Amino acid sequence: QVQLRESGPGLVKPSETLSLTCTVSGGSISGYYWSWIRQPPGKRLEYVGYISKTGTTNYNPSLTSRVAISVDTSKNQFSLNVNSVTAADTAVYYCARIGSGTSTPDRGFGNFDYWGRGSLVTVSS
Amino acid sequence: DIVMTQSPDSLDVSLGERATINCKSSQSVLHSSNSKNYLAWYQQKPGQPPKLLIYWASTRESGVPDRFSGSGSGTDFTLTISSLQAEDVAIYYCQQYYTNPPWTFGQGTKVEIK
């Protein structure tokens, strides 16, 4: 059973960089695309971006100037950096697997079949 | 971006009764090349991450009880729980994956027991 777990600081100061890592267990990071999704308090889920095992990335245009996602296949991990954070970046951050890969049903590209439990990141001084 | 709008925002349903959640997209998510609707439904229970229930608007994910069904096409979709169980108390989200990202979610519908 694939499991994802987010890790990183729960509190970040304004203007600094938010950094989170997602560790994938129970399966290889290869063969799939991996994504970050966030949910600000009281708001809807928001797609942040995705990365492939080879490092191909895509970012939400609303965040693209501040976001970077990277992958470390040797550790079965991928990471998120968001720089110059403000209070608006306060959210629960989820890592998730895009549900289209070598061993999945044909679900199309862009839904999410495995999620981490989420990591609350608060931006505050 | 495609805007997803769900209705109602919350729903109180008696155990064993039907629950119906609607989702409307600001543009069609039906792809002409394969006649598939790029629409998914998720269930999020308190303290848990979202769980994929349905994709292609009407295909149940493996292991999802058959009391959950999805329907609709184009811009209007419905998630139906045919006989509400206590364990179905959750927030339900629709999500489109028709376009290149950003893929977008509805605001969620909270289902509770009456």
What pLDDT tens digit does each residue of chain B (114 aa) get?
999 999 999 999 999 999 999 999 999 999 999 999 999 999 999 989 999 999 999 999 999 999 999 999 999 999 999 999 999 999 999 999 998 889 999 999 999 999
- Smallest Cβ distance to B52: which of A47, A58, A113? A113
Contact B101 A107 (CB under 8 A): no
Which residues does chain A have with pLDDT short of 70? none
Q: What is the residue-wise DSSP string for A3-22?
A: EEEEES-SEE-TTS-EEEEE
Question: Min CA distance, A117 vs chain B (Å)?
Answer: 5
Contact B49 A60 (CB under 8 A): no
Pairwise CA distance, residues A9 & A122, whole Å: 9
Contact A108 B38 (CB under 8 A): yes
Per the CB < 8 A criterion, the answer to whether A13 and A125 are in contact is yes
Phi/psi at A99 (5° precision): -80, 40
Contact B103 A110 (CB under 8 A): yes
State the pLDDT at residue A105: 81
Question: Min CA distance, A55 vs chain B (Å)?
Answer: 17
State the pLDDT at residue A104: 79
